[in-house]
Chain A
Amino acid sequence: MRVSRCLQRLQDLRLLRCSWQTARVLQPEPHGPRAARSNPQQHRVVRGFHCSPVFAKDPRLPGRLVGEDDKKRQTSLVAHDDLFEQIAMGAKSKATFAKVIDVFNKRDIRRRGHVEFIYAALRKMPEFGVERDLGVYNRLLDVFPKEVFVPTNFIQRMFNHYPRQQECGVQLLEQMENYGITPNVETKVLLVQIFGEKSHPMRKYQRLMYWFPKFKHLNPFPVPQQLPEDPVDLARFSLTRIANDLDAKVTVHQLPCSDVTESGEEIHRPYILGIQSPGQRELLAKHDPSRPVFVEGPFPLWLRSTCVHYYVLRADPPLPQDQVEEAYDPERSFYFPLQLDFSLDRDVWDEEGFDVEDLDEGPVYAMCMAGRGDQATLGQWISDLQRDNPVLGRVPTLFRLDPGPQHLQGGGDEESEPRHRLHVETEEDQAVLDEEPRRGRGKL
């Protein structure tokens, strides 16, 4: 009820606007705005022009407008791409995008080539930064002429009526879907006006409206649309995202800065951010000092289209003979059992021989992100960690660093900043035994 009323109202509004536009385009027309405002009359006019080739050649239409455009118009997308380039003239924004649509709308009453135009617009949207703007999608839908593609008899309804247009509409909705934009009631009204109640785009719209509300907040750990710009903030965000312990503490070991040494050399100090949870600290304190710990990395972490890299401090899993099981002491509680002594199968015939969570990968003691992935930088992280984890002073530390993730940056867009690049001079897969004195030096 509500929807239909809303639909009705929107329709009225649109017709009004439509009539204004038409009126402006058809300025020299004898039946001007006044005629257009007389609703049903004008309605029929708009409705008619696509069906009748005769009407299209109506001499009343000024040859000037159509003729000019005809020269330029090509059916290829390139023309429309050019249109975007021309009008935007470098400044690509929502406003210019809207302007392009306006220009197209005004250029031709018949909206000739609107399918190509919409395809081109869809492609151009990310460039203009409007790919997540529902309003823009609705405006784009508005480019379709209304009523024309609505099947009016059963034969039309039975066959794919105006397949190319319907496909284009679906494509538009699909792009919305890909960007996670939920359509609104205006979209619906438009679709009903353009394609009718049971068209393919309408079905697509219904599917979207069925699934999107279900999926919208499904991810309990959503990545924000806008990632922090500052690499330190980004690193902080990424590290807290990886660490599954809310008590884990992020430490800024070093902020990026530039120093000039005595010899006049400029030294750029990269940022180093580390994270460690109390549990990890505890584990590290229990680490057997005779066995080395490893600094490994870089490992990629994708945050939407941005890739950052992190390093871990880890150890090998304890040898089987060293594994001391914290046995449950049945003689612990005087009054009630602390553990029950049966294990039921999940289902009667289930076998549970495999546990996805209990893997022997060895403990991870800390993680960090740094502006540079060379050993000196990471060594500084380790020496800084030593303050909170004295055991590191007695444990040999091995650096097992990969050359770097350059190839990953190839596809990276404008966000491939130097911070993601690792210096090529990092030790290539060679593990250097870094003994205590060396770390001591690193600290100076």
Chain B
Amino acid sequence: RTKLLTSTTRHRSTAVQLSISVTHMFFFAGGHQTCFSLFFSSQESKSFAVNMFKGQIATSQVFPFPKALNEEQEQFLRELVGPVSKFFEEVNDPAKNDALEKVEDHTMEGLKEMGAFGLQVPGDLGGLGLSNTQYARLVEIVGSHDLGVGITLGAHQSIGFKGILLFGNKAQKEKYLPKLATGENIAAFCLTEPASGSDAASIKTTAVLSPCGQYYTMNGSKIWISNGGLAEIFTVFAKTPVKDPNTGEVKDKITAFIVERSFGGVSHGPPEKKMGIKASNTAEVYFDNVRVPADCVLGEVGGGFKVAMNILNNGRFGMAAALSGTMKGVISKAVDHAANRTQFGNKIHTYGAIQEKVARMAMLHYVTESMAYMISGNMDSGAAEFQIEAAISKIFASEAAWTVTDESIQVMGGMGFMKDCGVERVMRDLRIFRIFEGTNDILRLFVALNGFQNAGNHLKSLQKALKNPIGNAGLLAGEITKRAKRFAGFSSGLTLQGSVHPELAQSGDLTVKAIEEFGAVIEELLVKHGKKIIDEQFVLKRVADCAIDLYAMVVVLSRASRSLSQGAASAQHEKMLCETWCLEAYDRILHDIKFLRSGQSKQTFKNMRAISAAMVENGGVVSPHPLGF
């Protein structure tokens, strides 16, 4: 057997990959399970995104397309959708909000009356008690009309008081949630500081426990806080000295606090002037010797990091939902124009150039919408692992919405450029979505690195199994077969048959092929770089791109399969969307994989590094003007 192994594992890259059903991998650092390690679970993951990095397919979360609403919930949602849409069509004036740089007062009042400020607060605490899917549906309506209002609502409930919902104790929930749910109090999420974007270590705001142990004294300032000028309740992250129970060492750790404006010492700066989402309020918030009662600690003392991570991870799916609404809105404007505008005696929609734009817009929207409801459905069904998917959806949605809006303006031509059309405002509003709550670039790292971590654990467990090949003979056999097949260019036996509707079999095959290739290249990269893969951001970016495309393929496959099996009226249209998307995504993935494997990539990355270094050295472009002056 050893001989057989040696022959099949000629390269390290063929370090055999096994499907070990139970791998006990615990990742504790300093005795604390970190939030990242939440995803590095102790058992086989059910998440599709986690598994695709291992070259495996886990269908349980993606097939069939989750149906997250029961009869009652669906009924309730139906009753809400109508009035909310009507409200945004008739009462809210996005253009005016944008011009005033605030949400009009009567709009705010109306939203509060509708209960829009407490969508996910449990019913007994004065909210609507919506599930994630229900929430997504309503947010989608908001997003299709006015992203400025969307940010105001999102900053309030998606991140502002989400901490209280997720981590608050009973007393805290009862004290704060009723008033927050009615919109009497507005909430804000205070994490970013001038020196701290994604680096928790550079948070300067401090909270020091008083000698009596009754309250904390908080000092510091936070910038770019949405609702910072309106909020009464703040979720603030500050550094507190925490004694390590093991070593007795005192260390600064982050703690989350609920801070009321009424505590005194809380002030805010003037509203910031922004490119988009002008209707929402963004301001600096200052904490000057604020006395925060010890009861107001959210979660554990020193556990603020986990709180922040969870709030952010839980809020991301909403963004995809809102943006799918936005896309729907601008697409309808563009299609309307394309259908009615006549040039050279023909409607412009008869020209291929416009048709391609419209078709691409439709695909991007279809993918985004599918992702948003897939993830919210997973979350509602109690899945614990949706973080990679949520990050993918945020990246994809923000970029797709940007592209779609851009193309809508293009379709509309000069008309789209004019303020009156309303798409220009959407474009400005959209820009921030690629930046906030983790820029897309950083989330790409998150996606890729989490995938690598999982794949790395998997590979490690295989290496352990290989130390005792006799004991793990059965386990290794399958893996050897898989690799032999991969080496010989056969399909490794993965399949989506049975999950995917037969009419979509071809797209399903492409997806499977892409997953196999992707899993193989991930393993090659892992073996090549090991832990150091973390420093290869050029590679990570491309890996993340592949992961995003792969997940998008599976999501649309799942949704189109459902439509086909339900015999929906739009089933054939969805089939076309799905097939086209899968074909193009497959090409992109293979192109990226080929590039990563080739020697070309190394040279390209090296060049880019050098170019960038030269630019930085030169403080701008290096090449002289072609005219010489």
> Does the CB pair A348–B201 fall under 8 Å?
no
The listed residue (A327, A333, A341, A347) touching B30 by CB distance below 8 A is A327
Q: Are A337 and B201 in contact (CB under 8 A)?
A: no
Distance in Å: Cβ of B541 to nearest Cβ of chain A? 12
Alpha-carbon separation in the docked complex, A341 to B37 (Å): 9
* Chain A proximity of B456: nearest CB distance (Å): 4
Given the interface pairs A331-B200, A333-B199, A334-B200, the reply to whether A344 lies near B459 with Cβ below 8 Å is yes
Evaluate contact between B442 and A342: CB separation under 8 angstroms. no
Contact B453 A342 (CB under 8 A): yes
* Interface contact B12-A347, CB-CB below 8 Å: yes
Number of A-B contacts (CB under 8 A): 102
How long is the Cα–Cα vector from A155 to B227 in the complex, in angstroms? 102
Contact B200 A333 (CB under 8 A): yes
Which residues does chain B contribute within 8 Å of A4, judged by CB atoms? none
Contacts A338-B534, A341-B453 known; A329 to B312 CB distance under 8 Å? Answer: no
Enumerate the 9 nearest inter-chain pairs by beta-carbon distance, A residue then B residue, closest first.
A331-B305, A336-B446, A330-B34, A342-B456, A335-B438, A330-B29, A336-B445, A335-B442, A337-B36
Interface assignment of B58: CB less than 8 Å from any CB of chain A: no
Residues of B near any A CB (own CB < 8 A): 9, 12, 15-16, 27, 29-30, 32, 34-37, 40, 191, 198-201, 253-254, 305-306, 308-309, 312, 438, 442-443, 445-446, 449-450, 452-453, 456-457, 459-460, 463, 466-467, 526-527, 530-531, 533-534
Assuming the contacts A330-B37, A343-B460, asked whether A337 and B12 have C-beta atoms less than 8 A apart, the reply is no
Chain A nearest CB from B152 CB (Å) reads: 23
What residues of B have a CB within 8 angstroms of the CB of A334 in the complex? Answer: 191, 198-200, 305, 308-309, 312, 438
Q: Are A335 and B443 in contact (CB under 8 A)?
A: yes
B526 to A344, Cβ gap below 8 A?
A: yes
Inter-chain contacts of B305 with A (CB < 8 A) = 331, 334
Contacts of B527 in A (CB 8 A): 344
Do residues B531 and A340 form an inter-chain contact, with CB atoms below 8 A?
Answer: yes
Inter-chain contacts of B306 with A (CB < 8 A): 331
Q: Tell whether A355 is near chain B: CB-to-CB under 8 Å.
A: no
Q: Which of A328, A337, A342 is the most central at the interface, judged by chain B CB atoms within 10 Å of its CB?
A: A342
Tell me if A68 is interfacial: C-beta within 8 Å of chain B: no
- The CA of A388 and the CA of B438, in the complex, are separated in Å by 42
Taken together as a complex, chains A and B put the C-alpha atoms of A343 and B527 apart, in Å, by: 10
The residue among B253, B254, B530 with the most chain A CB atoms within 10 A of its own CB is: B530
Residues of A within 8 A of B200 (CB): 329, 331-334
How long is the Cα–Cα vector from A339 to B305 in the complex, in angstroms? 16
Whether the Cβ atoms of B460 and A344 lie closer than 8 Å is: yes
Contact between chains at A348 and B15 (CB < 8 Å): yes
Residues of A within 8 Å of B456, CB to CB, are: 340-342, 344
Complex Cα gap A341–B456 (Å): 8
Q: Once bound together, how far apart are the Cα atoms of A341 and B533, in whole Å?
A: 12
Q: Are B534 and A342 in contact, with the CB atoms below 8 A? A: no
Expressed in whole angstroms, the minimum distance between the Cβ of B537 and any Cβ of chain A is 10
Q: A346 interface residue, CB < 8 Å from B?
A: yes
Whether B199 lies near A340 (C-beta < 8 A) is no
Assembly CA distance A336 to B445 (angstroms): 6
A348 and B12 contacting across the interface, CB-CB below 8 Å: yes
In the assembled complex, the Cα of A348 lies from the Cα of B17 at a distance in Å of 11
A262 within 8 A of B: no
- Residue of B32, B254, B445 near A330 (CB, 8 A) is B32
Q: State whether the Cβ of A265 lies closer than 8 Å to any Cβ in chain B.
A: no
Q: Provided the pairs A331-B253, A334-B308, A345-B463 are in contact, do residues A340 and B452 lie with their beta carbons within 8 angstroms?
A: yes
Evaluate contact between B199 and A328: CB separation under 8 angstroms. no
- Give 5 A-B contacts (CB < 8 Å), ordered by A residue: A330-B29, A334-B308, A337-B449, A339-B531, A347-B12
Tell whether, in the assembled complex, residue B30 and residue A330 are in contact, meaning their CB atoms are under 8 Å apart. Answer: yes
Residue of B nearest to A339 (CB): B534
| Interchain nearest-CB distance for B628 vs A (Å) | 33
Given the complex, which residues of A lie within 8 Å of B466, measured CB to CB?
348-349
In Å, the complex CA distance between A329 and B466 comes to 32
User: Complex: how many Å from CA A338 to CA B199?
Assistant: 10
Q: Which of B40, B201, B442, B459 contacts A341 (CB 8 A)?
A: B40
Interface residues of A in 310-339 (CB under 8 A from B): 327-339
Complex CA–CA separation, A349 to B438 (angstroms): 40
For the complex, give the distance between the alpha carbons of A270 and B308 in Å. Answer: 63
Interface contact B453-A337, CB-CB below 8 Å? yes
| B395 CB, min distance to chain A CBs, angstroms | 12
In the complex, are the beta carbons of A348 and B463 less than 8 A apart?
A: yes
Decide if A341 touches B199 in the complex (CB within 8 Å): no
Question: Chain B: which residue is nearest A347 at the CB level?
Answer: B12
* Residues of A with C-beta under 8 A to B530: 343-344
- How many whole Å from B386's CB to the nearest CB in chain A? 16
Q: Which of B15, B30, B463, B533 contacts A340 (CB 8 A)?
A: B533
Report A-chain residues with C-beta under 8 Å of the C-beta of B201. 329, 332
Instruction: Report Cα–Cα, A47/B443, bound state, in Å.
Output: 83
Contacting residues of chain A (336-374) with chain B, CB-CB under 8 angstroms? 336-349
Q: Let me know if B36 and A330 touch, CB within 8 A.
A: yes
A319 to B530, CA, bound (A): 31
A348 to nearest B CB, angstroms?
5
A428 to B412, CA, bound (A): 90
CA distance A341 to B198 in the complex (A): 20
Q: In angstroms, how far is the closest chain A Cβ from the Cβ of B298?
A: 15
Contact between chains at A336 and B253 (CB < 8 Å) = no
The 8 Å CB contact of B34, one of A331, A342, A346, is: A331
Instruction: State which of B12, B198, B438, B460 has its C-beta within 8 Å of the C-beta of A342.
Output: B460
Instruction: Given A330-B36, A341-B27, check contact A336 B12 (CB 8 Å).
Output: no
| Assembled-state Cα–Cα distance A340/B526 (Å) | 11
Taking a contact as CB atoms under 8 Å apart, the answer to whether A337 and B450 are in contact is yes
Determine the chain A residues whose CB is within 8 A of the CB of B442 once the complex forms. Answer: 335-336
Give A331 to B30 CA distance when docked, in angstroms. 11
20 new A-B contacts, CB < 8 A, other than A330-B37, A336-B198, are A328-B29, A330-B34, A334-B200, A334-B308, A335-B312, A336-B445, A336-B446, A340-B449, A340-B456, A341-B453, A341-B457, A342-B453, A342-B531, A344-B527, A347-B12, A347-B15, A348-B15, A348-B463, A348-B467, A349-B467
User: A338–B532 Cα gap in the complex (Å)?
Assistant: 11
> Do the beta carbons of B446 and A335 come within 8 Å of each other?
yes
Q: What B residues does A343 contact at CB under 8 A?
A: 460, 530-531
Question: How far apart are A62's CB and chain B's nearest CB, in angstroms?
Answer: 70
Contacts of B199 in A (CB 8 A): 332-334
- In the complex formed, the residue of B with least CB distance to A337 is B36
Could you tell me the distance between the alpha carbons of A349 and B198 in the complex, rounded to whole angstroms? 39
Query: When the two chains form their complex, are residues A340 and B453 in contact, meaning their CB atoms are under 8 A apart?
Result: yes
Contacts of B35 in A (CB 8 A): 331
By a CB distance below 8 angstroms, the chain A residues around B443 are 335-336
Min C-beta distance of B346 to chain A, whole Å: 49
| Complex CA–CA separation, A349 to B462 (angstroms) | 12
Q: Which of A327, A338, A340 has the most CB of B within 10 A?
A: A340
Pairwise interchain contact A340-B534, C-beta atoms closer than 8 A = yes
**Measured between alpha carbons, how far is A388 from B443 in the docked complex, in Å?**
43
- How far is B533's CA from A334's CA once the two chains are assembled, in angstroms? 19
Interface residues in A395-417 (C-beta closer than 8 Å to B) = none
Separation in Å of the A230 CB from the closest CB of chain B?
32
Given A327-B30, A344-B526, CB of A333 within 8 Å of CB of B449: no
Q: Which residue of A lies closest to B305 (CB)?
A: A331
Separation in Å of the B310 CB from the closest CB of chain A?
A: 11
B contact residues around A331 at 8 Å (CB): 32, 34-35, 200, 253-254, 305-306
Residues of A within 8 A of B463 (CB): 344-345, 348
Complex-state Cα separation, A288 to B463, whole angstroms? 43
Please measure, in the bound complex, the distance between the C-alpha atom of A345 and the C-alpha atom of B531, giving whole angstroms.
Answer: 11
User: Residue of A at shortest CB range from B40?
Assistant: A341
Q: How far is the CA of A347 from the CA of B12 in the complex (A)?
A: 5
- Nearest-neighbour CB distance to chain B for A283, whole angstroms, equals 22
Question: How many angstroms from the CA of A87 to the CA of B295 in the assembled complex?
Answer: 104
Which A residues touch B453, using CB under 8 A?
A: 337, 340-342
Complex CA–CA separation, A38 to B308 (angstroms): 99
**CA of A339 to CA of B200 in the docked complex: distance in angstroms?**
15
C-alpha spacing A306/B35, complex, angstroms = 59
Min CB–CB distance A442 → chain B (angstroms): 41
Cα(A98)–Cα(B12), bound, Å = 59
